[in-house]
Amino acid sequence: MDLDRLAFTFFNAGIAREYYPDIVKGFWITVQLGLAVIAAGLALGLVLALARSFQIRAVNLLIVVFADAFRALPALMVIIILFFAFPYAGLPMSAFTATWLALTLVLGAFAEEIFWAGIVSIPKGQYEAARSTGMTRWQTLVSVVVPQAVRLTIPPLTNRTIAITKGTALGSVVALSEILGSAHSASSLAGNPTPLTLGAAAYLVLFIPFVIFGRWVETRFAWKR
């Protein structure tokens, strides 16, 4: 094993110092993108699940078609369509916007199905008890059903959110300078893969705390029977 060659190729200190600022810049773009995707995707999923609970046939059909379509489509394909095809329809968007919107739609589709599963798992007796006290259907959903449904859905929702958020790396395909995009560009300029090693380290720094936080949320707020 040639350790010196391994170190020079993947752990080159000089190249790391030169391109470290690029990786840091990409790190913060990834953080901003990830937080935006989580906030918008979960909100979209919850709104769609609530709309579906009113059992309006046409609305439900549209929501089911949306959820099935975006759960089936690869996120990368959605990003490419939004970035390259939409400008021909007069809707150009930046690489950041295209990546954010694509991942938001995908996360929203999965979140809607997860939230909906939580809502329908609540016993009908709870609906009836709430309505018997004079609460409206909307009040029943917001005050009685949704709080219980959200706690039931925390484990699958957390796992799916983490999986889709890691898809921010797909933005590199449309030249978004997030972690992978910055690392790949720096590696090409340097003629050395050390920036990719820095990128891998940046992903660990970002997502290990995220995974730990997700596990804490599951433990702290998950439904206890």
For range 124-141, the mean pLDDT: 81
Q: Which of 5-9, 50-54, 144-148, 193-197 has the lowest mean pLDDT?
A: 5-9
| 167 Cβ contact list (under 8 Å, min separation 6) | 75, 103, 106
Q: How far apart are CA 198 and CA 201, in angstroms?
A: 5
Band (pLDDT 50/70/90 cuts) for residue 111 is very high
Rounded to a whole number, what is the distance in angstroms from the first to the last CA of the chain? 54
CA dihedral (71, 77, 78, 81) in degrees, to 10, reads: -150
SS3 45: helix
CATH tag, 18-221 = 1.10.3720.10
Q: Which of 131-135, 175-179, 182-186 has the lowest mean pLDDT?
A: 131-135
Q: How far apart are CA 220 and CA 224, in angstroms?
A: 10
6-37 burial string, b = 16+ CB within 10 Å, else e? eeeeeebeebbeebeebbeebbebbeebbebb
Query: What's the pTM?
Result: 0.89
Q: Which sign does the torsion angle of CA 188, 189, 191, 197 carry?
A: negative
Q: How far apart are CA 131 and CA 209, in angstroms?
A: 42
Distances (CA, A) of 169 to 57, 114, 133, 156: 38, 24, 50, 22
The pLDDT value recorded for residue 110 is 96
CA gyration radius, the chain: 22
Higher pLDDT, 201 or 7: 201
| Closest-CA residue to 172 (of 138, 199, 134) | 199
190-200 burial string, b = 16+ CB within 10 Å, else e? bebbbbbbbbe
Per residue in 24-83, pLDDT tens? 999 999 999 999 999 999 999 999 999 998 889 999 999 999 999 999 999 999 999 999
| 200 Cβ contact list (under 8 Å, min separation 6) | 183
Residue 68 tokens, joined: 């099935």
Residue 85 tokens, joined: 């095809």
The pLDDT value recorded for residue 137 is 81
User: What residue spans define the domains of the chain?
Assistant: 18-221
Per residue in 155-165, pLDDT tens? 888 888 888 88
